Amino acid sequence: MCGFFGIFLDDERLRPDSDDLHHTARLLRHRGPDHQGVHVGDGIGLVHTRLSLLDLAARSHQPFWDETGRYALLYNGEVYNFRELREKLERRPVLMKTY
C-alpha cells in the first residue's frame, strides 16, 4: 500500500512548508518504502510514498506530470489490465509518449 498526503491552500500566493512535507513523507515511509515523492507549488503540497509491487522502474515514481508540467497525479494501486488499456489507448488518435 502506498502513502498519500496533500494540502491545498485557498491562497495561491502561499506555499506549504517544504520541510513539513518532507517530514510527512518520512512518517509515511512504512506505507511505501521504495520511493518518496514530494511536490511543493503555489497553494499546493503533495507527498507520495511508493510500495513497488509489479513495476519497479523509476519512471513510475510519483507524482506523475503531464508533458506541460501543469497537471500532477498521485495514484494508489497497480493497473493489472494495463496491457489491454495500453492497446486500446494506442488505437485512439491521440499522442502517446512511450517511455
The architecture (CATH level 2) of 3-90 comes to: 4-Layer Sandwich (3.60)
β-pairing, 3-8 vs 44-50, is antiparallel
The domain limits of the chain are 3-90
Instruction: Output the tens digit of pLDDT for each of the chain's 99 residues.
Output: 788 899 999 998 999 999 999 999 999 999 989 889 899 999 999 999 988 877 788 888 888 888 888 888 887 767 788 889 889 888 887 665 555
Residue of 1, 2, 9, 91 marked active site: 2
The one-character DSSP state at 80 is T
pLDDT digits (tens, 9 = 90+) for 40-59: 999 999 999 988 877 788 88
| Other CB atoms within 10 Å distance of the CB of residue 64 | 14
Active site residue 2: yes
> Nearest 5°: phi and psi at 39?
-130, 130
